[in-house]
Amino acid sequence: MAPPVRIAALGGLGEVGMNCTVVECDGRIAVIDCGILFPNENLGVDLIAPDLSWLEERHAQVGGIFVTHGHEDHIGALPFLLRKVRAPVYAPRFALELLRNRCAEMGIEADLREVKPGDARDLGDGSPLRVEFVRMTHSIPDACALALRTPQGVIFHSGDFKLDETPVVGRAFDLPRLEALGKSGVRLLLSDSTNAERPGRTLSEAAVAPGLEEVFGRAEGRVFVACFASNIGRIQQVGQAARAEGRRVALLGRAMDQNVRLARDLGYLSFAGWQGCSLEEARELPPRELCVLTTGTQGEPRSALARLARGEHPELRVDPGDTVILSSRHIPGNELAVGQVVNDLCRRGAEVVYEGGPRLHVSGHASEDEQRRLIRLLRPERFVPVHGEYRQLSRHAAHAAAEGVAHRHLLLDGEVLELSDEGARVLPDKLPVGRVYTDREALAGEDMGALVVKDRRLLAEAGLCTVVLVVDKATGAVVRGPDLFAVGVAGFEGAEAELRAEAARALEELSPGARADVAEVQEALRVAVRRFFRKAGGRRPTVLPVVLEL
């Protein structure tokens, strides 16, 4: 009897983002991708990661982490996982280099191993699982699907894909390999559901060239183009449209800079020798000769595009007569933020070209026809839709039914599908799953609770000092204080009287107007106390001023 194989997602089923799938057989575990989710409501956090505690508890069993491509919703939480799980990471080239940069920035040691399409790797320790990378097409270079050879047959994970015959950068998807896998038999297909609700097929990346040429052809001022920094095919086409009009290209923003440099180093991107220009050169160029590539298509308020729109960018300006192209589609939930940026750009007199105009964007995900074509090519016995909200998963399952796939399983995060000699079943017990709200600094830290931990660390290093002042609400006169209390502050004891005098002096120096303002009084107390500790030996306790009005 062949051992059973269990498949579950720790994220990505029922939401678009934080994709992470685990496959377990004979006590060994393969992890497929480990991404983040961008919050689209204002939670006061940068990003959301899947709860990875199930994997962390089984770190010794993880034999390999397999990365399909380099988008943040597939690799963004990997640095965190790698703090706890020391398994080799197999990734295609572009994703690998992005990961290498990220791990270096965060000071994480990782065993990163490059794979090429066609390569297969196993989990070591005699595990019967073997994972083959299959070339696909998507909106980032080197996207791959995975064919897992298991004792229960081949499990095919599509990764994110579209079936693009003319992808601009890199080669088309590996049709012969897909056909061969289909002929030899696929037990289970897990496939990208993002665009299951879109009929027809997604256009090729090459289809945006005419729209770009049209807009570049009629632009009189500067042309700003915003797109995803990892969409190298798009960037290449913007470069070509700019070159045809004699425009030089400046890069604005760190992500754009990093991705373009990487793509050029890898030979995926070519601009004419004269074409690149620095921001200093860009400021001197006549508007008619400049194209600026940047990010911020989702309305992110701190992005270069949003700052340009508000007139707050330190390097460049958008002026009347300039053209701004949003080469993207906004992600649902970001409408308000994108609308704000477009409003601000229009107010500056720019022509803004976005959804609804000439074609300046195509999706990176397969629509219904391509999803069904992949099913026909692979002819799987069973089907699990992945990468989507529930309505997209359920529509994709319907497409599979229409293609004659007899067994479909609509799984959500944590539900475990077991393949065995008897067939397949969803196990009664779920894996623990959840969301961890965090920020980039916390991701680099030792612990996921690091937002709180950061405050605690500051307190642990230098302690807490509170200054309490009671004032008369009507007159503003001091009724009591300033009184000082400290926890864990070295040297506080002997200096209490001096500190009190220092705080009182700061109060006296305030103008009558400032004294009537609680916020001003608090700030004056905070500054005075901090200054005192800095002078008395460079200590930096957290200072908490409290002003009570009676």
- Annotated active-site positions, please? 192, 365
CB of 356 vs Zn ion, minimal distance in Å:
24
**Contacts with 534 (C-beta within 8 Å, 6 or more apart), sequence order:** 540
Q: Which of residues 236-275 bind Zn ion (CB under 5 A)?
A: none
44: which residues sit within 8 A by CB, 6+ positions away? Answer: none
Sketch the per residue contact string, 455 through 494, with Zn ion: x for CB under 5 A, - otherwise: ----------------------------------------
Name the 3-class secondary structure at 497. helix
- Which pair of tokens denotes residue 494? 């002997």
Instruction: Decide the pairing of beta strands 323-326 and 144-150.
Output: unpaired
Q: Based on CB atoms, which residue is closest to Zn ion, 160 or 174? A: 160
Least CB distance from residue 137 to Zn ion, whole Å? 11
- The three state secondary structure string of 106-117 is HCCCCCEEECCC
Q: Encoding tokens for residue 206?
A: 């090459």
Angle between helices 518-535 and 492-509 (to 10 degrees): 140
* Cβ 269 to Zn ion shortest distance, Å: 19
User: Which CB sits closer to Zn ion, 160 or 368?
Assistant: 160
- Which class for 524: exposed (0-12), middle (13-18), buried (19 or more C-beta within 10 A)? buried
Minimum CB separation from Zn ion for residue 72, in Å?
9
Size of the site for Zn ion (CB under 5 A): 2
Using CB under 5 A, which of the segments 103-111, 160-168, 235-243, 305-313 binds Zn ion?
160-168
Taking the C-alpha atoms of residue 249 and residue 261, their distance in angstroms, rounded to an integer, is 13
Please pick, from the candidates 15, 33, 72, 160, the single residue that binds Zn ion as defined by CB under 5 A: 160
Instruction: In angstroms, give the least distance from the CB of 515 to Zn ion.
Output: 57
Binding mask 101-130 for Zn ion (x = CB under 5 A): ------------------------------
Question: What are the tokens at 76?
Answer: 């963004």
Check if the beta carbon of residue 20 is closer than 8 Å to that of residue 36.
no
* Contact region with Zn ion (CB under 5 A), list: 43-51, 80-88, 106-114, 156-164: 156-164
Smallest distance from the beta carbon of 138 to Zn ion, in angstroms? Answer: 6
Nearest CB to Zn ion, comparing residues 13 and 352: 13
- CA 41 – CA 485 distance, rounded (Å): 39
Kind and range of the H or E run holding 105: helix 93-106
Using the minimum distance from each CB to Zn ion, give the nearer residue, 71 or 408: 71
Q: How far is it, in rounded angstroms, from Cα 83 to Cα 106?
A: 11
Stretch that binds Zn ion, among 159-167, 345-353, 495-503, 514-522 (CB under 5 A): 159-167
The DSSP string of 321-379 is T-EEEE-S-PPTT-HHHHHHHHHHHHHTT-EEE-TTSS-----SS-BHHHHHHHHHHH-
Q: Which is nearer to Zn ion, 223 or 262 (CB)?
A: 262
Which of 384, 336, 396, 389 is closest to 157 using CA atoms? 384
Judged by CB under 5 A, the stretch of 152-160, 166-174, 271-279, 429-437 that binds Zn ion is 152-160
Binding mask 29-68 for Zn ion (x = CB under 5 A): ----------------------------------------
Specify burial of residue 359 (Cβ count, 10 A radius: 0-12, 13-18, 19+).
middle
CB of 189 vs Zn ion, minimal distance in Å: 18
User: Is 124:53 a contact under the CB 8 Å cutoff?
Assistant: no
- Looking at 70-78, 128-136, 173-181, 298-306, which segment touches Zn ion (CB under 5 A)? 70-78
Closest to Zn ion by CB, 160 or 205: 160
Q: Is 71 in the site for Zn ion (CB under 5 A)?
A: yes
- Is 370 among the residues that bind Zn ion (CB under 5 A)? no
Tokens (6 digits) for 312 = 């707050």
At closest approach, how far in Å is the CB of 311 from Zn ion? Answer: 33
Q: Which stretch binds Zn ion (CB under 5 A): 154-162, 449-457, 469-477, 502-510?
A: 154-162
Nearer to Zn ion, 72 or 351 (CB): 72
The β-bridge partners of 545 are 467
> Residues in the chain, how many?
550
> Using the rule CB under 5 A, is 382 a contact of Zn ion?
no
Long-range CB contacts (within 8 A, 24+) of 424-430? 424/188, 424/382, 427/6
Please name the helix (run of DSSP H) or strand (run of DSSP E) that holds residue 144, with its range, or none.
strand 144-150
Which pair of structure tokens corresponds to residue 499? Answer: 């500190």
CB of 29 to Zn ion, least distance (A): 23
Taking the least distance from each CB to Zn ion, the nearer of 136 and 448 is 136
Specify the residue, 13 or 417, whose C-beta has the smaller distance to Zn ion.
Answer: 13
Closest CB 140 distance from Zn ion, rounded Å? 6
Q: How far apart are CA 39 and CA 229, in angstroms?
A: 19
DSSP string over 30-56: EEE----B---S--S-SEEEE--HHHH
Nearer to Zn ion, 170 or 541 (CB): 170
| Interacting residues with Zn ion (CB under 5 A) | 71, 160
